[in-house]
Amino acid sequence: MVIFSREVARRVFAGELRNSNLSFRVGGDGPGDDQHQYAPTYLLTPTGAKCNRVFLVGTLTEKDDIGSDTEYWRGRVVDPTGSILVYAGQYQLEAAQILAALEPPAFVAVVGKPSLYEAEDGRIILTVRAEAIQKVQEEVRDRWILETARLTIERLKALKATAGPSPDFTTAEHAVSIPDDVLLRARAHYQTDIEQYKEMVRKALSSLKEGKGAAAGGAMPPEEKPPEGKPRGGAPKRSWLELSDEDEAQDVETIDMGKRR
């Protein structure tokens, strides 16, 4: 009998999640185990984050009940790098009730499963099916930006090392523990532009210095308008578990951002 443990929620910026389009199953106990009906589905991001669940903190800028027979809530959560659509319905009852009661704009923390689906116009849309939502203070959002920036930079260092003839993922410089096959798969699929994601991190950190944060609002450009209808899939109600995927880290001053060229 195969037993799958609960996956830790990964911190990833919205800008990176929006660029992610590779999902796959792993697990099982024999040949073809990647097709096991209970094997977890993962999203692989351009910097090599392998996510079964994600942890987001940002500003809820809008919400809508898009259900027909039953309530089905959709919200937009914005961080300094972009926005993500979050859904909660009858299978995520507690999260749906909290989302329904929130009044935008509000800082929120969300734990949920990333899902990919194709919209009617052919776009690949990434959304998050919320397992838990909680209103938080601005300080929590700011700390999440710092932690997510640190983790993103560490993944970029490890990813850059894969370009060398003999990458070493156990050095202090590459502190994030990411299997080399995951990094190589991310690099091969996305052809990741490391400078692009370093710039994304700079943008996120600059928002803290400027005091702007992620409270972006206003009209959305056409390509960011929510697709009609619901994303496919559902899940049983889940409880609020630990949010962090790493121990508390150093402050922003210790993040090696490198120099702009």
Lowest mean pLDDT among 29-33, 127-131, 247-251: 247-251
Q: What is the mean pLDDT of residues 187-201?
A: 95
Rounded-to-integer distance, Cα 16 and Cα 19, Å: 5
What is the CB-side half-sphere exposure of residue 229 using CA atoms within 13 A?
Answer: 9
Classify strands 9-11 and 53-65 as parallel, antiparallel or unpaired.
Answer: parallel
pTM, entire model: 0.75
Task: Give the lowest-confidence range in 39-48, 156-165, 194-203, 242-251.
Answer: 242-251
Domain segments of the chain as ranges: 9-210
Superfamily of segment(s) 9-210: Nucleic acid-binding proteins (2.40.50.140)
227 within 8 A of 125, measured Cβ to Cβ: yes
